[in-house]
Structure 1
Amino acid sequence: MSTLPHSATPHPEDPAGLLVAWFATRGWAPFPFQREVWDAARAGRSGLLHAGTGSGKTYALWFAALARALDKPPGKRKSLQVLWLTPMRALAADTARALQAPLPDLIPDWRVGQRTGDTSSSERARQAKTLPPALVTTPESLSLMLARADAEQQLRSLDMVIVDEWHELIGSKRGVQVQLALARLRRWNPELVVWGLSATLGNLALARNALIGPEGLLVQGETRKAIEIDTLIPPQPSRFPWTGHLGMQMLPQVIAEIERHASTLVFTNTRAQAEQWYQSLLDARPDWAGLIALHHGSLDRAVRNWVEQNIGSGALKAVVCTSSLDLGVDFAPVERVLQIGSAKGVARLLQRAGRSGHAPGQVSRVSLVPTNSLELLEAAAARDAVARREVESRQPPAKPLDVLAQHLVTIALGGGFLADALHEEVRGAWSYRDLTAQEWQWALDFVARGGASLTAYPEYHRVQPDEQGVWRVPNAAIARRHRLNIGTIVADASIQVKFLGGQRLGSVEESFISRLKPGDHFLFAGRVLEFVRIHEMSAYVRLANRSTAAVPRWQGGRLPLSSQLAEAMLDRLQQAAQGRFDGAEMQAARPLLELQSKWSALPTRDTLVAELMASREGHHLFLYPFAGRSVHVGLAALIAWRVARLQPATFSIAVNDYGLELLCAEDLPWRHLLEEGALLSEDDLLAHVLASLNATELAQRRFREIARIAGLVFQGPPGQAKNARQLQASSSLFFQVFRQHDAGNLLLDQAQREVLEQELEIGRLRDTLRELRRRRLDVHAIARATPFAFPLLIDRLREKLSTEKLSGRVARMLRELEKAAEVGPMKRAARTR
């Protein structure tokens, strides 16, 4: 909102005038894009609003909904009118407070309710009788509402649906869940107005199409929000980086930044990293106890609520957090944002930067805190990419049949369906626009009798047609089980962590707790805890006296480097190869980059650098495509498999975001193999990738998620969830049965497709191979590990050495390499093409 000009005079005789008048009481005037959204919504248009974090987009959509309500007679405003979908239930309370603020002045008889997994049973009971005029909810809770027998009666009065943070949902099965829910709501009310909110997204037209269709409007927010990005430069950046090696060396600078500002968010990429940084800050500054806090998704809901309230009120000086605070909680008091390590993507960095200066017209600022020397290069590249607004795109999943199977049972519970009518409705959801009649019939058969291999088991006969051809759920037990299983978030099996007195701290993965013995210590919720015992899916602990402790490791910790950031890094390397080191980050990284160039070469957009080295371990190939960890996993396996077809060989593989290492006992003719080109060919890529990896094992692990969403595996009621071993055993049994007795089961195809598309990024791998063949190959024989090769060596050693042994090994290697660096070039020979 801009400051209200003195000459502006609001006109309260119409809804738009009332809205402007409310803005004027706060010294604001609507931005043109806000007025555009209001006018479009009042005219019955749907669309997607794209605007930066803190630019006023929430009120653009909320006031559009209020304008539509004010256009109606008071008697027609009482039923549920507005549904506000949020991707995180943690945002619901804050969102509801923000939406409630203007209601006393504009529509006094309205209130904003909440319906999420945290909603009390008493509030749910009240909502079952009468829903409030406006409701903030999540995709999962909306699906639960659709599963009620009176769903149409409760929801057909809806006038407007607003999907917040659509960029967070579009690329996931939760986004598909939203698409299907909207298709159902539109069937009940074809005039329904739907709007999405997006802050950081590259493919806006596709995002609009997936939510609304090509006919929807695409509204761009006000001028780009000013964002400042700088880097805290390490005092002694190493020429031989390895993951996390700077680590706590940056602690004094982080403390100084927190000290200088009233409120700071310290973002980390993993929960384990958040725990470590919070504890280190507290150890260094014990006087900050009670002034700094920890926030991540595994902490108890009450703990997170307390943190959110106190950072919002300005009572906390700093919060160490993960992506749990990425999204739209309005932390107006936050002055500074620090990012520990690389954010690995432009969109994520912009989202986190937007947590500071979270208001129109204010500057957002984020400082990057490198955890290894190569992240200095990433920091410089990130600033370049942000300046060019090269934001990553996100693709909606194509025809996930597990989500469709779940939706069929949901709609059967919510009053039932006619098969042909629902088929037409489902095809109205973007992800299913190409759903064939055969695929639809398969999904219907799957929920009706379990497909071809489960017909003998009544619990999988979930939906049946009645005499009128209406498909319903005939069994009350199946209905209860399905309602408990609704959703597409498949959490890793977790154990509640509680003090002996019963106070809950949060949850950690079962696989971590299972390795602990009574008396072992671990770091969690910002405390060093002593493990006492496990009882009924809870780990009981007490405060420990000693400070040394293990840190829980949660799955999914490593974020892959995005294409946009990788390309920006190659541009910076090109400049370095030409002797240009612009900016503080590049000057700090200059010794590393110059040594890499001296001993080997710098990769660029036009040059693929390969390094060959012999050691006591064997013969090493180092390759630097700069395509991100996920692509390098598939690429390394593909190259190894293709070489092994030519001659027998066994490889050890290491990958990071910048490159890959293949270690073999034999001295292979790598120069010839790489120059010949077949190793990097796109020919038969899909078949070769599947053959090069244990594709069956990967698909079986992926099938666990699919089986849970599709309703084959039941996680158990709240508080009695099955453990990971039970779930994996159950899903593995289905996987094997389908492979042997139902080879045409489309869920098997989906598992394989998801492995290729999501875990291995097969499309990006294909693009990478095409790009690598275009680059000039630059092969170097080296006597010792170069700065780029060193982190790959350490990552491989990390898998087989304890922390103590690894640190000693790294220290010896560093001494040898630094000594060699002072002597002279270590390049044996070079050959290029």
Structure 2
Amino acid sequence: MNLPAPFTDWFAARGWRLRRHQADMLRAGERGEHALLVAATGAGKTLSGFLPTLVDLTAHPTDRLHTLYVSPLKALAADVERNLLGPIAEMGLPISVESRSGDTSSDKKARQRSRPPNILLTTPESLSLLISYPDSFSMFADLKTVVIDEIHAFAPGKRGDLLSLALARLQAIAPGLRRVGLSATIADTTAYRAWLAPDSDAGSVTLVEGEAGADPDIQILLPEGAVPWAGHSGRYAVHQVMAEVAKNRTTIIFCNTRGLAELIFQELWKVNDLSLPIAIHHGSLDREARQRAEAAMAEGRLRALVATSSLDLGLDWGDVDCVIQMGAPKGSSRLLQRIGRANHRLDEPSKALIVPGNRFEYLEAQAALDAVKAGERDADRFRPGALDVLAQHVMALACAAPFQEDALLAEIRSAAPYRWVDATLFSRLLGFVRDGGYALKSYDRFRRLAPDGQGGWRIAHPRLAAQHRLNAGIIVDAPTLDVRFKNGRRLGTVEEYFASTLSPGDTFAFAGLSLEVESIRDSDVLVRATTKPARIPSYVGARMALSTRLADRVRGFLADPTSWARFPADVRFWLEMQALRSVLPRPGELLVETFPHEGNHYLVAYPFEGWNAHQSLGMLITKRMERAGLQPLGFVASDYALAIWSLRPVADPAALFDAAILEDEFVEWVEGSHLLKRAFREVAVIGGLIERQHPGKRKTGKQVTFSTDLIFDVLRKYEPDHLLLEAAWADARERLTDVARLGDLLDRAAGTMLHQKLERISPLAIPVLVLIGRESVAGADVDDALLGELADSLADQAMRPT
């Protein structure tokens, strides 16, 4: 393509050429087409998205808002602003660029609405607030393009629901609006094109694929001894990791959880004999601390940065030499995203190391490498749009102007996540936004909409607009609950998502004690010490789910001995002994082993559906075992396996894995625990039923919980089909229990269960059984040594040929 002179000169000055995908994006822009660009990190993806805007604004200068850029992170928007302003200044283009987020001053926000820049960079939440103002109609009237960066980070979740609804409103204001999506890691491009397009018309979105870059250089870092039986941190390799840091100018060390990031940072610091500057970055850190780390990284003052998913959508640091993944990556797309943080140069390979935490994680790491080489990405699962998000959006639009019900429904249905909403459901939703619904309509505090006198609806009082803007948002901070004895003695805190799975009578390990739940009141878990075994011995924070495609590849390894030759000798011997002592499941089969061990009876299943699904299944199966008189004592889950131990043996595992468990025990568990009540709290906040903030005052988590619990009880009693209860059930099923994967697992078990009745522990069971011992170990310093002894003891039993 022929670029205007300022652009050709700028490219030439850098020795760059216009890449094919950049030219394709320019052509799509000239034709006014929606476009989805899928290109590797380092391919100039962001510049490709903005080139049509910069060229058009150079040819047709304006003082109006031309392009809206939406990113998942405020820091990413600020980084893009810096990277845009540089080229604009260097080419002398008369184009203004600004960011807008929660950190933007109120004066600047007000000015942006009346006199916006040519390019505005923002987030879904800030965009939702913008469309809640009456002047949004004039602000966006001449909008030409919306660029959505890292689209995969939005589309499948609630932030994607909010953004999709906002796009529908922008399209109604500016019908000629062009939508552009950017991503490096998308498997199902048709699904994303349908999400991006008005009215889900995937064919209206031009797919642009980036030029292929150099293949990444990915290695699996093996220990100097044997690959560990258990663990997921990779901390055994800290000396080797520190040596890699010393060899490179800059390294990013990714960890899958915040707790692991803190652990690895401390372990690295202990062996940092050269006193190299290293730092840590994760979402729980203070914003200023994160910004200091980002600035030090950008300026080349750090040799290593330990990070979590807070940098998965990383900033443009071109001088990163190496990326190290501690523990298994859980998905090929995530691994590619993280590897892309290294070098940002398309024609040079990105260097990466994976440090598997145990033998199953070695198989997963190898599966991820194979998937990357095969160009295989992890598919995202799209689900129906959330009703609490829709309620928030309807209130935002009412703040901007009165609306007609039929016209608004048509606009909402043009957003892909909400194609399923019909007139009956929308009438119910409007009823909720209007007055809270049947059981709450007599309370004035829930009245938010009123007739506008012309057959439509308006906000009931002007103050409600300010109140909405103060409380709008999709991200609800997860509160913690205090663990206390009845006498008030506080033992510590557990995160609410864990407490929400507990019911009176459940036992769990905490503070070195076995505790029995007596009740859950407001923000307290009341307990008593017990001699009963801890029924729930393992709990951690929200975990990244093992992707289905990686799980399938690991299953393939188990069933194909010809693939074992490239594995380390100890991993290969482990699999060979499993084949000798028991069996290895073929793809599609569910292997269940039962055996006695140390006076108890064990059932170990290998579903490979991820920790979240296995944890939920463990809760359900132990309840079913109790009813059957099998006297279960506890369970433990990993990403690959589930182990349950009991006083009586399980003769027929198939009865425990009956799919009816999702209709019987699942419903009973959710309703008997606080899972549904906690899900209701979130949807009530997002849906606007409960306000977190008032001018100059913010409710505590305990106050919010108290308010939502009261309303929850009223609705369960008087309006059990209330819209928000429906939304809470959808959340409980979808997000908190991974119920979709549970359903697939149980369906598969019905026809493919392979039950092996053994006389002793099997080799394949060692990694999950070691997790039981982990819970009885006090203190991180002795953890590895004692667990190693336990694993060796189990291996002595399991790996004997006879």
Please report the TM-score for the alignment, with normalisation by the length of structure 2: 0.87
> Contact 2:227 / 2:570 at 8 angstroms: preserved in 1?
no
Q: Residues 730-759 of structure 1, C-alpha deviation per residue, up to 9 Å, x if partnerless?
A: 222222111111112122122212222333
Q: Residues 552-597 of structure 1, C-alpha deviation per residue, up to 9 Å, x if partnerless?
A: x99744222111111111122223xx264233x5435224333434
Supply the distance in 1 between the matched residues of 2:22 and 2:680 (Cα, whole angstroms): 44
Amino acid at match of 1:411: L
Residue 707 (structure 1) aligns with: 684
Residue 771 (structure 2) aligns with: 795
Residue 119 (structure 2) aligns with: 134
Supply the distance in 2 between the matched residues of 1:181 and 1:302 (Cα, whole angstroms): 30
Amino acid at match of 1:748: L
> Contact 1:210 / 1:396 at 8 angstroms: preserved in 2?
no
Residue 275 (structure 2) aligns with: 288
Kindly report which structure 2 residues correspond to 1:555-566, keeping only aligned pairs within 5 A, or say none: 556-566=541-551
Amino acid at match of 2:38: H
Amino acid at match of 1:587: A
Report which stretch shifted further, 162-171 or 758-767. 758-767
Once the 2 structures are TM-superposed, how far is the Cα of residue 717 of structure 1 from its aligned partner? Answer: 5.2
Match of 1:278 among 265, 269, 290: 265
> Contact 1:226 / 1:363 at 8 angstroms: preserved in 2?
yes
**1:144 and 2:121 matched:** no
Amino acid at match of 2:29: A
Kindly report which structure 2 residues correspond to 1:169-568, keeping only aligned pairs within 5 A, or say none: 169-212=154-197, 213-214=200-201, 215-223=204-212, 225-237=214-226, 241-244=229-232, 247-285=234-272, 287-288=274-275, 291-493=277-479, 556-568=541-553
**1:628 and 2:604 matched:** no
Does the C-alpha gap of structure 1 residues 173 and 107 become closer, same or farther in structure 2, counting only changes over 3 Å?
farther
Kindly report which structure 2 residues correspond to 1:747-786, keeping only aligned pairs within 5 A, or say none: 747-775=724-752, 777-783=754-760, 785-786=761-762
**1:23 and 2:6 matched:** no
Does the C-alpha gap of structure 1 residues 510 and 623 become closer, same or farther in structure 2, counting only changes over 3 Å?
closer
Structure 2 segments unaligned to the other structure (5+ residues): 482-491, 497-537
Does the C-alpha gap of structure 1 residues 817 and 404 become closer, same or farther in structure 2, counting only changes over 3 Å?
closer
> Contact 1:265 / 1:321 at 8 angstroms: preserved in 2?
yes
Amino acid at match of 2:174: N
Does the C-alpha gap of structure 1 residues 695 and 178 become closer, same or farther in structure 2, counting only changes over 3 Å?
farther
Does the C-alpha gap of structure 1 residues 767 and 815 become closer, same or farther in structure 2, counting only changes over 3 Å?
closer
DSSP-derived class of the 1:708 partner: helix
Structure 1 segments unaligned to the other structure (5+ residues): 1-9, 496-508, 514-552, 827-833
> Contact 1:376 / 1:586 at 8 angstroms: preserved in 2?
no
Kindly report which structure 2 residues correspond to 1:728-743, keeping only aligned pairs within 5 A, or say none: 728-743=705-720
Match of 1:154 among 110, 114, 139: 139
DSSP-derived class of the 2:591 partner: strand
Supply the distance in 2 between the matched residues of 1:469 and 1:39 (Cα, whole angstroms): 45
Does the C-alpha gap of structure 1 residues 434 and 820 become closer, same or farther in structure 2, counting only changes over 3 Å?
closer
Supply the distance in 2 between the matched residues of 1:94 and 1:617 (Cα, whole angstroms): 60
Does the C-alpha gap of structure 1 residues 89 and 261 become closer, same or farther in structure 2, counting only changes over 3 Å?
same
Supply the distance in 2 between the matched residues of 1:255 and 1:466 (Cα, whole angstroms): 67
Match of 1:582 among 565, 572, 579: 565
**1:663 and 2:641 matched:** no
Kindly report which structure 2 residues correspond to 1:685-700, keeping only aligned pairs within 5 A, or say none: 685-687=662-664, 689-691=666-668, 697-700=674-677
Amino acid at match of 1:147: S
> Contact 1:619 / 1:667 at 8 angstroms: preserved in 2?
yes
Does the C-alpha gap of structure 1 residues 718 and 285 become closer, same or farther in structure 2, counting only changes over 3 Å?
farther
Q: Residues 266-292 of structure 1, C-alpha deviation per residue, up to 9 Å, x if partnerless?
A: 111111211222222222226436x21
DSSP-derived class of the 2:344 partner: coil
Does the C-alpha gap of structure 1 residues 772 and 494 become closer, same or farther in structure 2, counting only changes over 3 Å?
closer
Supply the distance in 2 between the matched residues of 1:554 and 1:63 (Cα, whole angstroms): 48
> Contact 1:237 / 1:373 at 8 angstroms: preserved in 2?
no
Once the 2 structures are TM-superposed, how far is the Cα of residue 446 of structure 1 from its aligned partner? Answer: 0.8
Please report the TM-score for the alignment, with normalisation by the length of structure 1: 0.84
> Contact 1:19 / 1:63 at 8 angstroms: preserved in 2?
no
Supply the distance in 2 between the matched residues of 1:387 and 1:168 (Cα, whole angstroms): 23
> Contact 1:57 / 1:197 at 8 angstroms: preserved in 2?
yes
Aligned length: 746
Q: Residues 232-290 of structure 1, C-alpha deviation per residue, up to 9 Å, x if partnerless?
A: 10112256x2224x74321110011001100100111111211222222222226436x
Residue 609 (structure 1) aligns with: 591
Q: Residues 479-523 of structure 1, C-alpha deviation per residue, up to 9 Å, x if partnerless?
A: 22211111111122489xxxxxxxxxxxxx97589xxxxxxxxxx
DSSP-derived class of the 2:564 partner: coil
Supply the distance in 1 between the matched residues of 2:177 and 2:241 (Cα, whole angstroms): 49
Percent identical pairs in the alignment equals: 35
Q: Residues 303-361 of structure 1, C-alpha deviation per residue, up to 9 Å, x if partnerless?
A: 22222222122221111111111114111000100001111111111100111131221
Once the 2 structures are TM-superposed, how far is the Cα of residue 387 of structure 1 from its aligned partner? Answer: 1.7
Report which stretch shifted further, 418-427 or 717-726. 717-726
Match of 1:727 among 693, 698, 704: 704
Once the 2 structures are TM-superposed, how far is the Cα of residue 665 of structure 1 from its aligned partner? Answer: 1.6
DSSP-derived class of the 1:610 partner: strand
DSSP-derived class of the 2:371 partner: helix
Once the 2 structures are TM-superposed, how far is the Cα of residue 53 of structure 1 from its aligned partner? Answer: 1.5
> Contact 1:605 / 1:775 at 8 angstroms: preserved in 2?
no
Report which stretch shifted further, 695-704 or 808-817. 808-817
Supply the distance in 2 between the matched residues of 1:465 and 1:234 (Cα, whole angstroms): 70
> Contact 2:250 / 2:321 at 8 angstroms: preserved in 1?
yes
Supply the distance in 1 between the matched residues of 2:695 and 2:474 (Cα, whole angstroms): 16
Supply the distance in 2 between the matched residues of 1:284 and 1:806 (Cα, whole angstroms): 18
Q: Residues 380-424 of structure 1, C-alpha deviation per residue, up to 9 Å, x if partnerless?
A: 111112222321222333131101111111111113322222111
Supply the distance in 1 between the matched residues of 2:658 and 2:797 (Cα, whole angstroms): 37
Residue 3 (structure 1) aligns with: none
Once the 2 structures are TM-superposed, how far is the Cα of residue 197 of structure 1 from its aligned partner? Answer: 0.7
Residue 527 (structure 2) aligns with: none
Supply the distance in 2 between the matched residues of 1:63 and 1:807 (Cα, whole angstroms): 53
Supply the distance in 2 between the matched residues of 1:821 and 1:621 (Cα, whole angstroms): 15
> Contact 1:173 / 1:397 at 8 angstroms: preserved in 2?
no
Supply the distance in 1 between the matched residues of 2:735 and 2:576 (Cα, whole angstroms): 36
DSSP-derived class of the 1:779 partner: strand
DSSP-derived class of the 1:37 partner: helix
Q: Residues 55-113 of structure 1, C-alpha deviation per residue, up to 9 Å, x if partnerless?
A: 121111100112232342x3xx1111110000111211111111222223556221210
Residue 486 (structure 2) aligns with: none
Residue 521 (structure 2) aligns with: none
Supply the distance in 2 between the matched residues of 1:772 and 1:224 (Cα, whole angstroms): 42
Amino acid at match of 1:250: A
Supply the distance in 1 between the matched residues of 2:223 and 2:661 (Cα, whole angstroms): 46
Residue 94 (structure 1) aligns with: 79
